[in-house]
Amino acid sequence: MRIWSATMGGMLRVYIDKAVQPALAGDFTKLLSGQIPPFLPPFAGVTAVAGNFDLPIPYRQHVKVTLEGNGPAYFYQVEYRNYVADCVDVTSYQAADVDTARLDSVRTLLMNPSIPESGATIEATTLTAQRPAMAIAASSAGEAIVGFEMTFDTQDATTLRTSKLLITFDGHQTVRTPLGDFFGAGPGLSPHATLPLEVRADGTAVSRFVMPFRASAVIALEPTNSLSATLRVVHVPMQVDGGTYLFCAHWVARGPMSSRPYRDLTLAHLQGSGFYAGTFLSLGNSSEAWWGEGDEKIWVDGDAFPSLFGTGSEDYYGFGYCSPTVFNHPYRVQTSSPGGFGASMGLSSMARYHLFDAIPFGSQITFNMELWHWDPDAQVTYDTISYFYLDQNAVDLVPLAVDSDFRMSPLFQ
């Protein structure tokens, strides 16, 4: 269960399997602020005004979430997952069953993520225009990249935006993004740390996404301005077959475009099976007015109405009230913003990773984000990366980026 709110207050109660007494009850502000053990950060906490709760609350048959309070208005999201088949392994939540020692161990891992190197093969090289690629051959059953690190001989934002990271698995090129943006830091290398992606203070860019392949993987650099990069890859044997999902990262650059009419932007449209794993946004705004009132809408497997229908773009990314505060969290981050409250003109970048709340799909997924801006005369650029795992025979219906899409926002050059 994931709960988000920018108007915390009152008493939250969660009732499991039609029980009369709540299985979880607590002050809404304290719970979403990470002040009630064992729901401590990063399972709960405030990121840029809004409170977030990220922890599974399993139930067998039924769940009811209530809020008792006297606030003038409440803004919130509650996400839940129902399984189609009978899941005999699901045990309904009871406070007495919580293993606090294990929770503490998971908390430590989430806040201090690392690339697992035990039993791994580690390879390193320097990528240049003359030698732009590293090729990795799989062991007999298959292989998986469990992490890689890159450092660059320049941290110039324009060079990193116009240079491409290309990754090919078993002949399928599934990653084609700008260098800095892939790591959630674009258009430059803003330091931050999340569970799957990180940029350290010295500019080292880190990926911890697991990337399986059956026979071969190729990580390549398509540089501009004679850029070179050192690459260190960690990979391990893994059972991989024709049904294994491949890791994908799809870059789309949009605009400059007018803020009117209000409309939905398609971030992902996939036919086949897989699961959606995250969204990075780099946005340029020509106005001091706020750009992020639009709602996310995610249709899964023939939904007539979206399975997930949000309350606002900044809410999707885990913050609220157009806060400019830069923050880090294992599942969400705001890596850069233009300035203070009421000063929204400029470039912003943020990401949300669906790892705790991955979105599986069996035949289709469509992810739209509404463009809803307070200023009817504003211009925006809206550049995104969608991260997902996809069946090898599935179809990505969002057009691939062309070379001219690898550019800085034309609004701020």
Same domain, 261 and 395: yes
pLDDT at 341 over 70: no
pLDDT in tens, 110-158: 999 999 999 999 999 999 999 999 999 999 999 999 999 999 999 999 9
Residue 141 within a domain: yes
Report pLDDT digits (tens) over 32-60. Answer: 999 999 999 999 999 999 999 999 999 99
In a domain, 116, yes or no: no
Q: Which of 63, 86, 111 is the last residue of a domain?
A: 111
- Considering the domain architecture, whether residues 226 and 360 belong to the same structural domain is answered as no
Residue 342 reports pLDDT greater than 80 = no
Same domain, 291 and 378: yes
SS3 72: coil
- For residues 65 and 44, membership in a common domain is answered with yes
Closest CA to 274 of 362, 385, 173, 355: 362
Please compute Rg for the chain using Cα positions.
21
Whether residue 276 is found in the same domain as residue 129: no
Which pLDDT score, from 0 to 100, does residue 186 have? Answer: 83
Give how many domains the chain has, as a whole number. 3
- Which CATH number covers residue 154? 2.60.120.1390
Is residue 138 located within the same domain as residue 239? yes
More confident residue, 83 or 179: 179
In a domain, 238, yes or no: yes
> Could you report the per-residue pLDDT of 156-168, keeping only the tens digit for each?
999 999 999 999 9
Residue 186 tokens, joined: 């674009």
Same domain, 225 and 311: no
Boundary residue ending a domain (111, 132, 148): 111
Residue 332 burial by Cβ neighbours in a 10 Å radius (0-12, 13-18, 19+): buried
**Mean pLDDT computed over 335-340:** 84
The answer to whether 164 touches 173, Cβ cutoff 8 Å, is no
Q: Residues 320, 212: one domain?
A: no
pLDDT at 233: 98
State residue 72's pLDDT score.
74
- Strand 359-361 vs strand 274-285: parallel, antiparallel, or unpaired? antiparallel
> pLDDT band at 382, cuts 50/70/90?
very high
> Within this chain, do residues 394 and 264 fall inside the same structural domain, yes or no?
yes
Q: Are residues 391 and 309 in the same domain?
A: yes
- Checking if the pLDDT of 270 tops 80, the result is yes
At residue 84, the pLDDT reads 75
In a domain, 171, yes or no: yes
Does residue 376 sit in helix, strand or coil?
A: coil
Same domain, 126 and 140: yes
Buried/exposed code over 149-180 (b: 16+ C-beta within 10 A; e: otherwise):
bbbbebebbebbbbbbbbbbbbeeebbbbbbb
Residue 308 lies in a domain: yes
- Cβ-contact 198, 222 below 8 angstroms: no
**Percent share of the chain, pLDDT over 70:** 98
Residues of 302-330 as b/e, b for ≥16 C-beta within 10 angstroms? eeeebbbebbbbbbbbbbbebbbebbbbb
Per-residue pLDDT at 273 exceeds 80: yes
Look at residue 284 in the predicted model and tell me its pLDDT: 97
Same domain, 342 and 206: no
The predicted-structure confidence for 189-246, as pLDDT tens digits, reads as follows 999 999 999 999 999 999 999 999 999 999 999 999 889 999 999 999 999 999 999 9
Residue 70, exposed/middle/buried by CB under 10 A (0-12, 13-18, 19+)? exposed
Domain that holds residue 369: 248-412
- pLDDT of 339 reads 75
Question: Which of 68, 84, 111 corresponds to the end of one domain?
Answer: 111
Tokens in use for 133? 């690629």
The pLDDT value recorded for residue 87 is 61
